[in-house]
Amino acid sequence: MSKTPLAPLSIVNGRLILPGEGEPVEGGIRVLGDRIAEIGRITPSADDRVHDAKGALIAPGLVDLGVFAIDLPAFHFGGISRAALMPDQNPPLDHPARVRFAAYSGKPDFWVHPLAAATRDLAGAEMAEIALMQEAGARAVATGRRWIVDTGVMHRLMQYCAMLDLPLIVHSQDHGLSGTAVATSGEMATRLGLPQAPAEAESIAIARDLALVRMTGCKVHFRQVTTRAGLALIRAAKAEGLSVTAGITPAHLFLSDVALGGFRTFARLSPPLRSEDDRQAALEAVKDGTIDVIASGHDPRGPEDKRLPFADAAPGMAGAETLLPLSLGLVRDGLISTGRLFDLIAANPAKLLGVQAGALRTGHEADIVLIDPDRPWQVDSGKMAAAAGNTPFDKLPVQGRCLALFKGGRLVDQRSG
């Protein structure tokens, strides 16, 4: 079905987030068709659709790397225009037809980039049909929520991904140590009597996979690195020149295991929340460039999954709506510049996926978000746009709201309050 041609779009009177610029610069943007045509001082033509930004930030649409559900209202609220979908679906994304279907599931208002399951049924034993899934639209391969225990399988997987030039996105928890644990070993887990595992379960898994990266040359993204030891390994690997990147979610930047108090199942996450020392190490890693991506980890879970004893509750949080305001806190705290923030939540994820998005550049698809970085609001799990409001940040006052979202030059979401 053909789309009705759009008149050119001019967004004026804003503050642009541009590649290579630490802080916003005044200007606007002009869109022809679905592509960015001009950036800077814009003079609209007579037939243009004109959108007055009124001083708001004009930024690239966010690219969310590693979500567990396609939740359009939540993504639009959060200024997210694209997301990489984890293979942990029912059934898993371990077949080309499922990948192809997922790639079309959000259009035309949202782009889904499926991540192919590394192994059949995500069981960690037999490699899936990765080349066929790449042809079907997979932008990367992922192990899902699981660590592949068999080193031989992981070695062959990395060899194959390197041959296809596909990034491999891995979960880093040695299951021999973590088992059925739901918390990180320490005072809080002991006081609550929760099944616990040492933080070293992460660094041991990372160390093995880094050894395999050296052997294979595979591009590996460690989806969540949350401990001081794990981050030190990533930092050293980058200094060595290995093709590795690392991600994290706002939960592990702003919460420690103290948030488990009262057996709050909204704080039941995978990997589990860490110690305050690990949290501080994560903030340092964002500041020094060890962390490349901040993602929402969006995983809406209803009462049937969360209103259970802590050890029985499903891990996960609804994160799409809070990704932007929480991450803007890093700028307000002086940890990073505004430009660096949008590298973390837009440009770097897009680069990893190999898509022309995540940055305001001429020729790129016009995925544009207008943001008031100072607008205050309160997170309320009962009023979220997400399919379920399982957020550990419930009732937290935050700042930063998406005012309008354009997908390919089309206005798909706008709000004033």
Bridging pattern class, strands 168-170 and 220-222:
parallel
Per-residue pLDDT of the chain (417 residues; tens, 9 = 90+): 445 678 999 999 999 999 988 999 999 999 999 999 999 999 999 999 999 999 999 999 999 999 999 999 999 999 999 999 999 999 999 999 999 999 998 888 999 999 999 999 999 999 999 999 999 999 999 999 999 999 999 999 999 999 999 999 999 999 999 989 999 999 999 999 999 999 999 999 999 999 999 999 999 999 999 999 999 999 999 999 999 999 999 999 999 999 999 999 999 999 999 999 999 999 999 999 999 999 999 999 999 999 999 999 999 999 999 999 999 999 999 999 999 999 999 999 999 999 999 999 999 999 999 999 999 999 999 999 999 999 999 999 999 999 999 999 999 998 865
Beta bridge partners of 38: 30
Contacts of 221 (CB under 8 A, 6+ apart): 65, 140, 167, 168, 169, 170, 244, 245, 246, 247, 292, 293, 352
Place of tokens 């259970």: 308
Q: Is 328 left (phi over 0), alpha (psi -120 to 50) or beta?
A: alpha
Place of tokens 């698809």: 365
Beta bridge partners of 369: 59, 405
Please tell me the number of Cα atoms within 13 Å of 67 on its side-chain side. Answer: 30
Place of tokens 């980890």: 297
What CATH number does the domain located at 62-353 have?
3.20.20.140
CA distance 108 to 411: 11
Q: What are phi and psi of 238, to 5 degrees?
A: -65, -40
Q: Where are the domains of the chain?
A: 62-353
**CA distances in angstroms from 109 to 57, 84, 262, 352, 414, listed in the order given:** 21, 15, 40, 22, 13
Q: What is the pTM of this model?
A: 0.95
CA distance 252 to 341: 16
Q: With the C-alpha atoms ordered 258, 263, 266, 272, is the resulting torsion angle positive or negative? A: positive
For residues 150 and 125, the answer to whether their CB atoms sit within 8 Å is: yes
CA distance 1 to 5: 12
Q: How many angstroms separate the most distant Cα atoms in the chain?
A: 68
CA distance 83 to 350: 9
